[in-house]
């Protein structure tokens, strides 16, 4: 866990989660008392210490996945702070998370917590963040836009320019529409939960959109020739993906092809 404040007023905490053969970075951002996502419970030893040392007045969750909300229960109990989440995800949050083994090993479980519906705008003393609906990675996902600073807190909307795997609940058509919407905004620096701080963020986000629309063209061409999505998947992603087996099919390239 490294804490640094390269960006004025933004405190960034970073941890590495690993389990099976999978390794994944997690970044958490604290801006002016507003915490964006909580990180998973597997990082509790470090994050609980970090949270205890910081002034946290409110928490905004991009979405309810356990690597973003795993410490929400702890924060609610120990810091007595309001936690904001997409209104449609509140019911899920109020129940204990149930996950397959690979997820429990990497991210850990998620205790129930009791969030409030996401307001349209979240204010801190110095900043104003607009909560923007951003479905695609999961249906109930927000990104947060600080117009004056050109910041976009992206949760799991970006992650990388190329998409080679998708979780079963991801939808690439929704993702394309969201990327088009977000690219209307005037931002420059992206704060991604897994890639960290991404400079020239808008350019990178556009590259992700280009990647997906080119892929969409290819898939449509092959579908027009009569190929099934399974056959198209094997042509476009010929490499065997270990995670597909490890995750019991929750992650696969087929999920990309099938929803684009
Ligand atoms: Zn997620």
For 203-243, what is each residue's pLDDT tens digit?
Answer: 999 999 999 999 999 999 999 999 999 999 999 999 888 88
pLDDT of residue 28: 95
State in Å: Cα 9 to ligand 1 middle.
25
State in Å: Cα 167 to ligand 1 middle.
9
The superfamily in CATH containing domain 1-120 is Ribonuclease Z/Hydroxyacylglutathione hydrolase-like (3.60.15.10)
Is residue 83 within 8 A of residue 76, CB to CB? The reply is yes
pLDDT of residue 15: 85
pLDDT of residue 22: 75
State in Å: Cα 138 to ligand 1 middle.
7
Give the pLDDT band (50/70/90) at residue 125. very high
Least confidently predicted of 16-30, 80-94, 109-123: 16-30
Asked if the domains at 1-120 and 127-260 fall in one CATH topology, the answer is yes
Q: For the chain, what is the mean pLDDT? A: 93
Is residue 96 scored above 90 in pLDDT? yes
State in Å: Cα 64 to ligand 1 middle.
7
pLDDT of residue 161: 94
Provide the β-strand partners of residue 251.
Answer: 167
For ion ligand 1, residues whose CB falls within 5 Å: 65, 156
Is residue 3 scored above 60 in pLDDT? no
201 vs 15, higher pLDDT:
201
State in Å: Cα 33 to ligand 1 middle.
23
Give the pLDDT band (50/70/90) at residue 7. low
Domain boundaries, the chain: 1-120, 127-260
Q: Classify domain 127-260 by CATH architecture.
A: 4-Layer Sandwich (3.60)
Q: What is the mean pLDDT of the segment spanning 156-181? A: 96
């Amino acid at each position: 866990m490294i804490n640094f404040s390269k960006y004025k007023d933004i405190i960034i905490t970073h941890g590495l989660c690993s389990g099976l053969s999978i390794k994944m970075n997690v970044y958490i951002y604290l801006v002016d008392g507003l915490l964006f996502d909580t990180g998973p419970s597997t990082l509790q030893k470090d994050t609980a210490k970090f949270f205890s040392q910081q002034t946290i007045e409110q928490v905004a969750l991009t979405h309810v996945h356990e690597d973003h909300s795993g410490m929400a229960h702890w924060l609610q109990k120990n810091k007595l702070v309001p936690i904001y989440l997409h209104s449609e995800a509140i019911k899920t949050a109020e129940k204990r998370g149930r996950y397959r083994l690979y997820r429990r090993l990497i991210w850990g479980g998620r205790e129930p917590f009791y969030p409030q519906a996401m307001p349209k705008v979240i204010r801190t003393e110095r900043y104003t963040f607009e909560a923007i609906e951003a479905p695609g990675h999961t249906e109930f996902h927000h990104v947060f836009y600080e117009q004056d600073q050109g910041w976009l807190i992206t949760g799991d909307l970006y992650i990388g320019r190329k998409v080679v795997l998708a979780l079963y609940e991801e939808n690439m058509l929704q993702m394309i529409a969201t990327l088009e919407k977000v690219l209307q905004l005037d931002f420059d620096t992206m704060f991604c939960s897994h890639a960290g701080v991404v400079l020239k963020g808008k350019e990178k986000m556009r590259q992700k959109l280009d990647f997906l629309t080119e892929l969409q063209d290819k898939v449509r061409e092959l579908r027009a020739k009569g190929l099934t999505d399974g056959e198209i998947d094997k042509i476009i992603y010929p490499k065997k993906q270990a995670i597909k087996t490890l995750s019991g099919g929750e992650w696969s390239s087929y999920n990309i092809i099938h929803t684009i």
